[in-house]
Amino acid sequence: MSVLNTADPSQATSGVDQTVAIRETLAYALSARNLATALTPNSAPTATATPSIQPGRIVLTGRNTLPSSSAQQLLEGETVTFASAPPAENAEAVSVEFWANGALMHRIVDPPYEMTFTVPHGPRSLTMAVSAVYADGTRVELGSSRFDVIPEAFTTVEGSVVDEAGKPVAGARVELYAAGMNGSFFHVEAESGAAAGGKPPDAQKLVSAPMLRNPGSVFGEDPWGALLQRPYRVRLEGLFVVDQDGEFKFDLRTNHPGRVMVDGQVVADAPSSPMGTVRLRRGLVPVTVEAGGSGDGDLRLTISETASGRRVSPDRAFLSTSPRLAATTGGDGTFKITAVPAYLSNVRVVAYSQDGGNAATGASEAVRPVPDGVTRVGATKISNSRGARR
């Protein structure tokens, strides 16, 4: 019999050894492959697959959650990329603009003309438009496309844990890790403009990327789907997947005070110093993003490699987990983790079991969530923690 996510959340970090073992196993599972592609699920198209773009059209360049057959549908909370190209007769335009429901979202001066966009909660449809802007200020709309927005969906993650001999492991702890960040939301006292210090969050949920566009509250007052009345502050936490040693630039754009902390160090502090660089080693690095007034305006974190200028895809840059998204295997080694957000681009599990002084860990492959269905991660093989990391 499988066991649902009934693991005591207080045990998520009850022992340093267990936490360290799970984190090291996850890092090993990623480093054993190419970290640059480790967050791409086996059942999903690669994020770099770009269809041919007919000039003047606006298209999705990569799907994260819904199948490609749902080209005119978006899922609340998912992060997608829109792309366009101006026709030849508009080649002299100095910039290209992306609009959503009549509000300007993004302006780009140089190609590629792309916009990464997290689908807000609330609107049941989005009309995306693209315009060319000339040096004299003339704006010409090149085209538009309407997308239906599907309400936030969830999935149940199922699988099993086996030992090196392929036998079921009962009583193993299983934690879910997803591409995205763990969001905490705090009510703000209107008079002081600050959240009460040290208080627990008023709401928590996983988010697909550190990004939200909502200029002029065009998408309403709760585009995060936190179910809170604004104003409120946001804290996003996740493990940044560094695929190679190097210096990285963190650029935080928000019209409210905010900051980015990398491994506990403040790297960017908006609005005074919204950009900062830090040198990182290959592996998993904790990152925290904090911002206020998030019912309106923008919150966008972009990360790029300083030497090459390569941008990191925001919806695949982080791994996150939540104490409630955990389970303990039953006697047959199976488990179920319910109420997993399906708008995340991929999920995987890390399993941990300890018999006396011997600990065994293992990680599954990343898979794409199935909205309103069952997401199967298969059998996760665990082995001695020390040996698994060799």
Domains of the chain: 58-150 (2.60.40.10), 181-314 (2.60.120.260)
Which one, of 264, 224, 270, 269, lies nearest residue 119 by Cα? 224
Q: What is the pLDDT of residue 229?
A: 74
Do residues 44 and 344 lie in contact, with contact meaning Cβ atoms separated by under 8 Å?
no
Which one, of 284, 297, 288, lies nearest residue 266 by Cα? 288
Q: What is the pLDDT of residue 61?
A: 64
- What is the distance, to the nearest Å, from the Cα of residue 341 to the centroid of all Cα atoms in its chain? 11
Whether a cis peptide bond, with omega within 30° of 0, leads into 271 is yes
Q: What is the pLDDT of residue 286?
A: 94
Do residues 313 and 180 lie in contact, with contact meaning Cβ atoms separated by under 8 Å?
no
Q: What is the pLDDT of residue 84?
A: 85
Q: What is the pLDDT along the chain (390 residues), one digit of tens a residue?
A: 444 444 333 333 333 355 666 666 666 666 544 444 444 444 333 333 344 555 556 666 654 455 544 568 999 999 998 888 776 666 677 899 999 999 999 999 988 888 999 999 999 999 999 998 988 888 988 888 899 999 999 999 999 999 999 999 999 999 999 999 999 998 876 434 444 456 789 999 999 999 999 988 899 888 999 888 777 889 999 999 888 899 999 999 988 889 999 999 999 999 999 999 999 998 889 999 998 765 566 789 999 999 988 888 888 899 998 888 999 999 999 999 999 999 999 999 999 998 766 788 999 999 999 999 999 999 999 998 544 433
Do residues 337 and 369 lie in contact, with contact meaning Cβ atoms separated by under 8 Å?
no
CB atoms within 10 A of CB 365: 16
Which one, of 377, 385, 290, 284, lies nearest residue 325 by Cα? 377
How far apart are alpha carbons 223 and 296 in whole angstroms? 8
Q: Output the CA angle 290-295-298, nearest 5 degrees.
A: 65
Name the pairing type of β-strands 139-150 and 73-75. Answer: parallel
Tokens 């079921």 belong to which residue?
Answer: 168
Distances (CA, A) of 198 to 70, 80, 201, 266, 293: 43, 34, 9, 19, 18
Q: What is the pLDDT of residue 28?
A: 65
Residues 6+ apart with CB under 8 A from 32: none
How far apart are alpha carbons 338 and 325 in whole angstroms? 7
Q: What is the pLDDT of residue 98?
A: 94
